[in-house]
Amino acid sequence: MSTATTLNMNIEKTKKSKLPQVDFNNLPFGQTFSDHMFVCDYKDGKWQTPQIIPYQNISLDPAAKIFHYGQSVFEGMKAYKDEKDQIWLFRPLENQKRINISSERLAMPAFPENYFMEGLETLLKIEKDWIPQTPGSSLYIRPFIFATGAGLHASPSTEYKFMIACAPSGAYFAGNVKVLIEEKYSRSANGGVGFAKAGGNYAGQFYPTQLAVEKGYHQVIWTDDNTHEFIEEAGAMNIFVRIGDTLITSPTSDRILDGITRKSILKIAEDEGIPVEVRKFTVSELTEASKNGTLKEMFGAGTAAVISPISLFGHRGKDYELPEIENSYAARFKKRITDIQYNRSEDKFGWRYLVK
């Protein structure tokens, strides 16, 4: 069946849904995909007619520049369903803006806001039954853009593909996380692409993280590329620490992603009167606070996990355990954010977005 939207969007629905095969009580993160996907091609200097088609493989020329020069950026979002069967998004325009910021850094064309939002909303309405309602679950949404133009000349592509795929998913991390402070490898550098959600940023993280996993940790804490003295990010997440009653996080820069969950936490902390310092802080400050008992919490923040408490960090052969505390900032922030996301509480910030 084909219909059209105000965008002249072509819609082809699947002839047989995969939905009956899905166990919504056992959803590994990002491994099961819904029936449809959104696709839009860029060629001849403009974005073409958007499409929603059955989820399927795509075909690319072996000389497509994504394979050779890595022009690829993405976003991570979630859709939630409340008790009234309404569909909600969380600050989606922030994702729309950020994917274009990332695209610009990689010399890729911006994707229009109306294409992004109407394409996403139309897809979600078609895939409504794929949004799980089991506790802690959601429909993970992956918008991404990559170079499809063929050629081996080291230059930007002239053709691209924008896509949105959806995956009903459970929790990203289970339990507390053990991390290793990285002092050899770097996630990003001044003047680089660390602030962009570029695929290559994540590829470069895998090897150091693998080494940390072999030592018994789950993730790495990234430090600055120059001195390795300053704490920057936690794996693929922004990092927060609580020393005494003060919440501390690194400032964003061209090395650090401007996380949407990060921004939300800072706003909630301000609303709750929690002292906040957005500043550089050192590994030595962290270890000293652990030794003298003032380090109360560490946690990562990002769309996939929302908030992941850190139970231990390793540094130069020594492990530092975090205390277990009641009424932690991590638990408070996670509850405030998820209550807004699932339409369980007031949204005084205007972050919740209803898909009508």
Q: What is the pLDDT of residues 290-349, one digit of tens each?
A: 999 999 999 999 999 899 999 999 999 999 999 999 999 999 999 999 999 999 999 999
Q: Does the reported pTM lie above 0.85?
A: yes
Q: How far apart, in whole angstroms, are the C-alpha atoms of residue 219 and residue 205?
A: 10
3-class DSSP state of 126: helix
Tell me the domains of the chain and their CATH numbers. 2-169 (3.30.470.10), 177-341 (3.20.10.10)
pLDDT range class, residue 174, cuts 50, 70, 90: low
Is residue 143 a contact partner of residue 136, using CB atoms and an 8 Å limit? Answer: no
Q: How far apart, in whole angstroms, are the C-alpha atoms of residue 37 and residue 164?
A: 6
Structure token digits, residue 89: 């998004």
Q: How far apart, in whole angstroms, are the C-alpha atoms of residue 220 and residue 323?
A: 20
Q: How far apart, in whole angstroms, are the C-alpha atoms of residue 326 and residue 189?
A: 38
Tell me the CA distances in angstroms from 87 to 168, 189, 337, 343, 354, one per residue in order: 14, 39, 16, 9, 6
Q: What is the pLDDT of residues 186-217, one digit of tens each?
A: 999 999 999 999 999 999 999 999 999 999 99
Q: What is the pLDDT of residues 99-152, one digit of tens each?
A: 999 999 999 999 999 999 999 999 999 999 999 998 889 999 999 999 999 999
Provide the 8-state DSSP code for 129. G
The number of residues making up the chain comes to 356
